Structure 1
């Protein structure tokens, strides 16, 4: 396994009851042993999204939990944070130019072709997010479900090139154990924690199932 992103929470402001409540859910999730947090909100303007990042950072920083910004490269650069971008977001070359050499860049891939393109480009991602592993309604533009066998093959290909991978899409207590054994460095969850009545207990339950 390359790297260790562990139990990786991707935030959802709607599930939290509004962006102002996201940091509180994140704090509870960290109490439940979440290892990595990504702030994602496609609806907020940049100013409000920056306020969201700042509020979550006030929770993750003291706990020494890495914080990653979804999509908004300029916001990530402002806070000197890692970023995760999708296939339709800013090109890797432009993202690296904005971020400089320090922050890491994650890229979503859902096919072998997308992974090959990412690995052969002039700027390679530091991490690939592979999915959706299972069908999910959380991300409206998610592609077809990969399944565990394809995920395992993609993770192996990425590892051979020295690239870390995490799995995302439909992960919950019924399947996270199997996914965690595929060679990925992290398992990303959204609704399994963000929509939980007790985020800390939900995180603990998920973490206990991971290999």
Structure 2
């Protein structure tokens, strides 16, 4: 029996909200996106709390219109307010506390870098998946250490969902697929390779990703 193909996990960028909403709608309309992570680092730095909540409400509402799971990056209070999922870095709070507050029906992810001990601990704490990366050199985090493919292979053999993240594009994802073989990979997280495209090309990019993932195994 074949494994289920990886789901495409899209992270937002810091586009102005109107531009971002338009891009996301075009991406969502292809049916390629399964999960959206709202990651608005510059927005948090530049705008007041009311703006942060207003933008989050717009993004969440759009994603839910397309039946797409929503995950908030590193903000338990925001996730709790909107009853969404949550992704936590290693220094951004307790997975166990987040699970107690958010309940069992939402996705909670944990950054695990390339550390199997952190990956196993994330599962123990009640996370839904562990994110490992950077897989390839990333525009978002150009100085991050690359995760050895052997660690990804080892993580995929545990009974816990694995999310590969960092610099993954249509141009290099075949290498990842070939190295992983028949091992299960639950999510592939992408930012720049989709969100870096213009309004008129983003849908084409998403459809190409959809074809690639459907042919994974």
Name the SS for the 2:157 alignment partner.
Answer: helix
Deviation at residue 200 of structure 1 after TM alignment: 0.9
Structure-1 separation of matches of 2:88 and 2:60 = 19
Matched, 1:116 2:120: yes
Question: 1:105 touches 1:126 (CA, 8 Å); kept in 2?
Answer: yes
Name the SS for the 1:44 alignment partner.
Answer: helix
Matched, 1:71 2:52: no
Range that drifts further, 73-82 or 198-207:
198-207
Name the SS for the 2:41 alignment partner.
Answer: coil
Structure-1 separation of matches of 2:82 and 2:5 = 22
How does 1:75-154 map onto structure 2 within 5 Å? Answer: 75-110=78-113, 111-120=115-124, 123-139=125-141, 143-154=144-155
Structure-1 separation of matches of 2:175 and 2:56 = 32
Deviation at residue 176 of structure 1 after TM alignment: 2.0
Structure-2 residue corresponding to 1:165: 162
How does 1:7-46 map onto structure 2 within 5 Å? Answer: 7-13=8-14, 16=15, 18-32=16-30, 33-45=32-44, 46=49
How does 1:37-56 map onto structure 2 within 5 Å? Answer: 37-45=36-44, 46-56=49-59
Structure-1 separation of matches of 2:109 and 2:177 = 19
Deviation at residue 6 of structure 1 after TM alignment: 0.9
Which ranges in structure 1 are unaligned for 5 or more consecutive residues? none
Structure-2 separation of matches of 1:124 and 1:85 = 12
For normalisation by structure 2, the TM-score amounts to 0.82
Which ranges in structure 2 are unaligned for 5 or more consecutive residues? none
Deviation at residue 174 of structure 1 after TM alignment: 1.4
Cα RMSD (Å): 2.2
Structure-2 separation of matches of 1:21 and 1:191 = 15
Question: 1:2 touches 1:164 (CA, 8 Å); kept in 2?
Answer: no
Compared CA separation, residues 167 and 98, structure 1 to 2 (3 A): same
Compared CA separation, residues 206 and 51, structure 1 to 2 (3 A): same
Matched, 1:57 2:69: no
Structure-2 separation of matches of 1:6 and 1:26 = 17
For normalisation by structure 1, the TM-score amounts to 0.84
Structure-2 separation of matches of 1:100 and 1:148 = 33
Structure-1 separation of matches of 2:212 and 2:175 = 9
